[in-house]
Amino acid sequence: MKLIAILIFIATYILLLVLPKYRAYISLFSALLFVLIGILPFQKALSYIDWNVILMIGGTMGIVNLFIESKMPALMADVIIDKVASIKWAIISLAAFAGIVSAFIDNVATVLIIAPVAMDIAKKLNISPVYMIISIAISSNLQGAATLVGDTTSLLLGGYAKMDFIDFFFFKGRMGLFWIVQIGAVATIPILLLFFREYNQPIHLEEKQEVEDYFPSYLLILMVALLIIASFIPNKPEITNGLICTTLLLIGIIKEVVISKNKHALNNTLLQIDYETILLLMGLFVVIGGISEVGVINDISKIFSRFGKGNLFLIYTIIVWFSVFISAFIDNIPYTATMLPVVSKIAQEMGIQPYLLYFGLLVGATLGGNITPIGASAIITGLGILRKEGYEVKAKDFMKLSIPFTLTAVITGYILTWIIWR
């Protein structure tokens, strides 16, 4: 059974890499194979799915769509642009703003909100928007690890390690991932300043975007507040965070349909939820449960331990930089979902708390996607926007900014995580 499980697992990853458009179907079919072959009974397969994470993703995506439709993010970007004197500071401010927004809403949504603003600035000043969009995309992706709702990888960690929203800020009396990521983001500002040093053209915003509805903004704020409050409730149901997000989404849809008389609100909002990612994760949870059931997770953890030779610093270093390398080329969602139980097993075998290795994994897996043009969904989205405008970006041109930016952020996070959590 172990050999069959390994073969299915390897085939799944190869197909996910080769056929990215069919990721959800591949994942679900692999999960079904584990059930049909008898490695996992159906009921046990369902128990491996983290329903809290699934509900959180669906609810958050829906609320974010309502937030985008209200035009509030566009207004916030306009206000920032109106306060700066030159295009250089407009780019850096937009990149920083993208990072802050992306800590609380999906990275792809953040790029879709802010990239058109940058594109408009570039057209008005008759300059290339390429590196403006790239800086927004990589800054957005950088902040994915900052909060529980910042990225799917954070949701995976939160679900697996039983971490709540507040735990990403302060955890077990120590500085959490949020602050580590913020210091990493600050460390990248000199890189952006140096790269855009010649972009000194003056800038002026003629008119600001008008907000159509403030209710989605209140919903988003309320979601964050309730997730924080839930962090302090002991012995709460495992799907509490998921119920918070989905309930607030339901309230938002009801408000749109009943009060705003928007007949299309239900369809429009539900269609914006990324069901492919949700189905992909459901299948992956079962696949990982299957290989764990037959002992493959134990075997992978032993391989890492053997390379690390029982040295915590060496094992931590391998996990961070291996994650950076892998995430530069493949989607970090299946990688993170697979590695969380591996990292947990390594920590268990060494007789230590797993949090240093968890956080190192997330730093490497989230930030590593910034290195190449295919490493993260936010980057693919940003380059897609450029392509529609007639700009084809070569890998070498992309990496002129992405490599120094990413290495600065990763090295900062790598050092800080070790200092704080070793």
Could you tell me which residue, 247 or 200, shows the higher pLDDT? 247
pLDDT at position 210 is 79
pLDDT at position 419 over 70 = yes
Number of neighbouring beta carbons within 10 Å of residue 211? 15
Could you tell me which residue, 353 or 205, shows the higher pLDDT? 353
pLDDT at position 206 over 70 = no
Between the two ends of the chain, the Cα-to-Cα distance in Å is 38
pLDDT at position 401 is 94
Structure-block tokens of residue 98: 């993208």
Structure-block tokens of residue 138: 């990589």
Query: pLDDT digits over 347-361, tens only?
Result: 988 889 999 999 999
Query: pLDDT digits over 134-187, tens only?
Result: 999 999 989 888 988 888 888 889 989 989 889 999 999 999 999 999 999 999
* Per-position DSSP letters for 110-154, written without gaps between them: HHHHHHHHHHHHHHHHT---HHHHHHHHHHHHHGGGSSTTS-HHH
pLDDT at position 225 over 80 = yes
Lowest model confidence (mean pLDDT) among 129-133, 296-300, 366-370: 296-300
pLDDT at position 191 is 95
- Mean pLDDT over each residue of the chain, to the nearest integer: 86
Which band of pLDDT confidence, cut at 50, 70 and 90, is reported for residue 310? confident
Cβ proximity of 66 and 256 under 8 Å? yes
Separation CA 179–CA 183 (nearest Å): 6
Separation CA 339–CA 35 (nearest Å): 22
- pTM more than 0.85: no
Separation CA 358–CA 347 (nearest Å): 10
pLDDT at position 315 is 93
Structure-block tokens of residue 228: 């924080």
SS3 assignment, position 170:
strand
SS3 assignment, position 214:
coil
Query: pLDDT digits over 45-79, tens only?
Result: 888 888 988 888 888 888 878 887 887 877 777 77
What is the phi-psi region of residue 38: left when phi exceeds 0, alpha when psi lies from -120 to 50, beta otherwise?
Answer: left
SS3 assignment, position 175:
strand
pLDDT at position 330 over 80 = no
Which band of pLDDT confidence, cut at 50, 70 and 90, is reported for residue 205? low
Strand partners, 174: 171
Lowest model confidence (mean pLDDT) among 23-27, 328-332, 394-398, 418-422: 328-332
Cβ proximity of 326 and 369 under 8 Å? no
